Structure 1
């Protein structure tokens, strides 16, 4: 089996589209089709079922895919080992999120910039399902998750730390001073980031167990906490994202403890052999968050 044929097969199997695979590999679609046919001919079996405009892996294709990925990953690791002269290098595409990028990751990014200049980091801001899907499809090498669950089908996960949350409002808000019941929150305007954010979704689920709820939605954490600081309502946000505002007195923390825990995690596709520079990133991320507490 030629390596270039396995590269093409893995890409088509990941995106399930000859057209999209051709675009991502910078090939003509006819080249992708001929390479897949050449691989099928050499193996003596069909790897894809053609279903009109759609394709799907055959049983043989499903069996080949993990081997193809292992071969390609080992090939890249061998290339890196030969050409790097002992210095870690390579590109990592990492899914992340606003709160982590702004408040937890700067020391990690600074470390890699100065100590490991051969490692090129490409950060992609996504959350939840989008990050998990990108990891399973191979679009991301690693992805940060902030979830209540730590077991994700098709992924392996390093749990880095619990991520405390804080319910915040402007100073002088009526709910300050005494622990409010969950029902008390429903009598006040509620602010939130977009759906799909784990802590927003869990907060909504907790509130709707008491009564229907609606949120004033904002696109970012920064916009949400600014709205809270101006007195528009209360918001549940990662504590690290509001630490500065709480210290300055621009926001106050309400004495309501969420009945759920979120965990900051670093995930990658199950069965993926992480190259040395990816393992280094996981190791340093573990160390950093342990130091941050």
Structure 2
């Protein structure tokens, strides 16, 4: 197997697009397609299922991907060792989520972009089970989690910060400035992001413990959920860091209710995986920069 074919395969497998892979690798799309076909021919298996305009990895492709990444990383380390180049380099695929990408990670991403320009960082937005599964399969190198649990089967993780939550609403909401219990919340209009976010799922479980039916208006993103709350459409439980600006300018207020669970922002990777130098460096800087915000 030629290294250039594995590099092309790894890029296509990461972005799941021949067009995007060609643009990032600065190849013609026909060259990317030809290289993938050459690799498939040499292995005697198909690596991608072509589904109209979309592609996905076959089982053979899923098995090959972690080996391809390891070979690429070892090649880059060997080149650096032979030439005496100490600057970190290599690809790094990180699973993350909207709240962290927008509010926790900018200092880390800015630092890494300017300090280590040879590290090719790719962020993939997934949450919960999807991120953990991608880590176990080797699709992601690292994954940010916001979970109540800190132990995850098949993974190693490091806690970066406790993630405070805030129940928020518009200033003139009926519950603003009042003391109330969980049973009172069930009777309110409830706003939320999509299922799968740990804080939304735990909030729903807590509300259902009252024995009442629970129904959420789903807005998909944190930004849309915040705007709906500020417009008086209902109440929402969100990470405090995501609503700090709105609480400061008064467009949202914190309601007098504390969730009976604690979430922690964590960085995880597959258990037993040998982390290349540039990945270890990212973990170290995440511990420093994300933890400082906590």
Partner of 2:287: 286
Partner of 1:161: 161
- Conserved? CA contact 2:170–2:229, under 8 Å: yes
Partner of 2:24: none
Partner of 1:32: 43
Equivalences for 1:1-293 in 2 at 5 Å? 26-27=36-37, 29-33=40-44, 74=74, 76-82=76-82, 85-210=85-210, 211-293=212-294
After superposition, give the CA deviation of every residue in 1:103-145 in whole Å (9 maximum; x if it has no partner). Answer: 1111111111211111121111111111111111111111100
Gaps of 5+ in 2: 14-32, 47-57
RMSD: 3.2
TM-score by length of 1: 0.78
Cα distance in structure 1, aligned partners of 2:124 and 2:230: 28
Give the ranges of 4+ consecutive aligned residues of structure 1 lying more than 6 Å apart after TM superposition: 66-72
- Conserved? CA contact 2:159–2:265, under 8 Å: yes
After superposition, give the CA deviation of every residue in 1:196-249 in whole Å (9 maximum; x if it has no partner). Answer: 111000000110111220100011000001000000000000000000000000
Partner of 2:20: none
The 3 A distance-change label for structure 1 pair 69 and 100 is closer
Matched residue count: 258
State the 1:81 CA deviation: 3.5
Cα distance in structure 2, aligned partners of 1:170 and 1:232: 8
- Conserved? CA contact 1:80–1:90, under 8 Å: no
The 3 A distance-change label for structure 1 pair 55 and 105 is closer
Specify the SS of the correspondent of 2:44: helix
Cα distance in structure 2, aligned partners of 1:238 and 1:281: 24
- Conserved? CA contact 1:73–1:273, under 8 Å: no
Q: Which deviates further from its counterpart, 252-261 or 77-86?
A: 77-86
State the 1:71 CA deviation: 7.4
The 3 A distance-change label for structure 1 pair 73 and 87 is closer
- Conserved? CA contact 1:70–1:273, under 8 Å: no
Cα distance in structure 2, aligned partners of 1:144 and 1:213: 29
Gaps of 5+ in 1: 15-22, 36-53, 57-61
State the 1:77 CA deviation: 3.5
State the 1:34 CA deviation: 7.3
State the 1:89 CA deviation: 1.2
TM-score by length of 2: 0.78
Cα distance in structure 1, aligned partners of 2:146 and 2:87: 31
- Conserved? CA contact 2:73–2:90, under 8 Å: no
